[in-house]
Structure 1
């Protein structure tokens, strides 16, 4: 009985700290985004604490064969887009399995740390997975509120 109660509370904690965000597609060319989840996020826009880790998980289906995938992230205020380097840059090394076959569904998973030097403000994050030619496999945008 105690085990069942513990499992219930663990599942509730997981649901509260892991929401599915609204997809704001910003130019996906070679994939259809099925869902996006952000761990450590309780509501939209996600409140991001400086120095904390955040994990993004994208469930997507490819529309063509893809050999390489590269992580690209920008934070933006209006027309100003500031690149944010993700490690590793080559998403095939950790975030997703490559090569990807047309029609198959994949899970992309990437963890990043909000830099402690980031200003406290509301930004739009533009997250892209690009192929070997620099074309978007998928692209989505979401609002973030960066705080101390």
Structure 2
């Protein structure tokens, strides 16, 4: 019985998502409470070309905004390359607009690592922008892209 409990515990720990250590890069309209990626079990997250990854950002709005737009870039040094996110309109996803000041939201977005991405370590910059193109929230985290 002890071996079974130990096995179940080890499987549960191995399947748990990691709460990412991120750097806020200019959140203007929200406070980020937590960020996790379903398919990430260690940092930096290893992402494979052509595979989907789902991110969860728990945030509290500090200002009411009418629109929200997804933006993702991967960078090596000063070079920044955009990564496509669909839908671009974040209000068509898990967060309904308007985003109201003082309310807490769970932003959920799935992205596919592009097959054209080079196999390198990058600093990902994830932004959700308001109708004035200011960051509702913005964070950076390290990713390792693999083939």
Structure 1 segments of 4+ aligned residues over 4 angstroms from their partners? 7-13
Distance 1:13 1:94 in 2: 29
> 1:23–1:35: 8 Å Cα contact kept in structure 2?
no
Q: For residues 1-148 of structure 1, what are the structure 2 equivalents within 5 Å?
A: 11-12=12-13, 14-15=15-16, 18-148=17-147
Q: What RMSD, in angstroms, separates the aligned Cα atoms of the two structures?
A: 2.0
Distance 2:11 2:128 in 1: 32
* Structure-1-length-normalised TM-score: 0.90
- C-alpha distance 79-95 of structure 1, shift in aligned 2 (>3 A): farther
Give the number of aligned pairs.
144
Show structure 2 runs of 5+ residues with no match.
none
Distance 1:72 1:95 in 2: 16
1:21-52 deviation per Cα after TM superposition (whole angstroms, max 9, x unaligned)? 01210000110000000110111110111111
* Structure-2-length-normalised TM-score: 0.90
